[in-house]
Amino acid sequence: MTNAFEQVIRNIGLKLYALDKRKEAGADLEGVSDIYKNILISQKSLVSKILKENIKDIYSLPLPIRGKTFDRPLIGSMRINAGRIANLFDFFIKNIPYDISSGLNNDTEKYLRNFFNYNYDYLTRLKSDEIILFEGFLRPFLESMAIYLKNKDGQGPSEYNSNDNLDNFSNTCSFCGGEPSYGFLKSDDETQNYLMLECSKCGSAWRYYRVQCVFCGEEDPSRLEIFKSDKYGNAGLQYCKICKNYIKIIDLRNNQTFIPEIEDILTIPLDIWMHKNTPLEISASSITNPSPSSKGD
C-alpha cells in the first residue's frame, strides 16, 4: 500500500501545481479554488501522516473476486478499523483552516461506523458541507485502493484487472460503485473516440460512449443538447432532453496537460448557469443503469 499512498501524494502535488498555474493564468474563481486548494493540502497532510507513522491497520485489504465483490470491491469487502479512521478524520478536519468544518458532528467514530455500514447510501443523508468533507477525506483512501488494485493487475484469477474498469462502459465505477463527477475527452491511444468518465469517489477513469446519456442511456444526438460558453471554452454541458440531467464534458484534446478535476472546479459557473436556466432533475440517485450498447463515435 505504501507505494499507492506515495502515488496519491504525487497526484495531489500535480493537482496543486495545475491549480496554481491556472490561477496565474487568470482562471480564478472567488473563494472556490481556495477552498479546494485547502482540501487538497489537507488530503496531502493526511496521507503524509499515514506514511510517516507507518499506519497499517486502517483497513484490511479486500481481494476482490470477479463476480463476487464486483459491485463495490473497495468498500464491499473492506474490514474497517473505525476507531483508527476516526482519529485520522479528526486530524483531517483540523487541517482544514476553513469554517466549513465547524458544523460537523463531533461523534466522528459513530459517524464513520454508520458510513461504512451503510456504504455510500449513508452519504446521501448527510448535509452538503459534510458531504464535501467526507468525500475529501475518503478520496485518498479510495484512490490508493484503486491504484493498489491496478498495480496488482494480471496476477491471478482472484485479482482485479484494471481493464475491467477501463472497459467498464457503465455509468458507475467498477472499483467502488461511485458515480462519475464529469466526463472528459482526450486524444491519446486509450481515450480517443470515447467519452471518458471519472469516478467522484476514487478518481478512476473509464471509457463510455461518446454520444450517450450517462443517466438514462439515450443515444439520439438530437436529444442530447450541448451548452457551451466562450468564457469556459474547454468545457461543455451535455443536457439530456429525455431524463433532464446533465453531465459536464471537459475537452482536453488541445491541452493534454490540464487535469480534469481542476478544470471541473474552474468551470463551476457553467453548473450554476445550468441550475438556474434549465429544468433539472438532478440527484445522486438519478443514475440508473442504461442498457448496454455497442455505440462508438
Q: Nearer to Zn ion by C-beta: 22 or 290?
A: 290
Q: Is 270 exposed, middle or buried (0-12, 13-18, 19+ CB in 10 A)?
A: buried
Task: Select the residue interacting with Zn ion from 134, 215, 232, 239 (CB under 5 A).
Answer: 215
Task: Select the residue interacting with Zn ion from 175, 184, 232, 258 (CB under 5 A).
Answer: 175
112 lies in the binding site for Zn ion (CB under 5 A): no
Output the smallest distance, CB 201 to Zn ion, in A. Answer: 5
Residues facing residue 235 across a β-bridge: 250
213 lies in the binding site for Zn ion (CB under 5 A): yes
Output the smallest distance, CB 108 to Zn ion, in A. Answer: 23
Contacts of 238 by beta carbon, 8 Å cutoff, 6+ apart: 183, 213, 224, 225, 226, 246, 247, 248, 249
3 state SS of 15 = helix
The stretch near Zn ion (CB under 5 A) out of 9-17, 125-133, 206-214, 255-263 is 206-214
Output the smallest distance, CB 284 to Zn ion, in A. Answer: 14
240 lies in the binding site for Zn ion (CB under 5 A): yes
Residue 55 CB coordination number (10 Å): 15
Output the smallest distance, CB 34 to Zn ion, in A. Answer: 26
Size of the site for Zn ion (CB under 5 A): 15
Q: What is the CA radius of gyration of the chain?
A: 19
* Cell numbers for 244: 433532464
**For residues 9 and 45, is the Cβ–Cβ distance under 8 A?**
no
Q: Nearer to Zn ion by C-beta: 94 or 295?
A: 295
Of 223, 107, 42, give the one whose Cα is nearest residue 34. 42
Task: Select the residue interacting with Zn ion from 186, 201, 207, 248 (CB under 5 A).
Answer: 201
**For residues 116 and 124, is the Cβ–Cβ distance under 8 A?**
no
160 lies in the binding site for Zn ion (CB under 5 A): no
Task: Select the residue interacting with Zn ion from 133, 195, 202, 265 (CB under 5 A).
Answer: 202
The residue written with cell numbers 472497459 in the block is 167
Our CA angle for 261, 69, 149, nearest 5°, is 50
Output the smallest distance, CB 288 to Zn ion, in A. Answer: 9
Interface residues with Zn ion (CB under 5 A)? Answer: 173, 175-176, 178, 199, 201-202, 204, 213, 215-216, 218, 240, 242-243
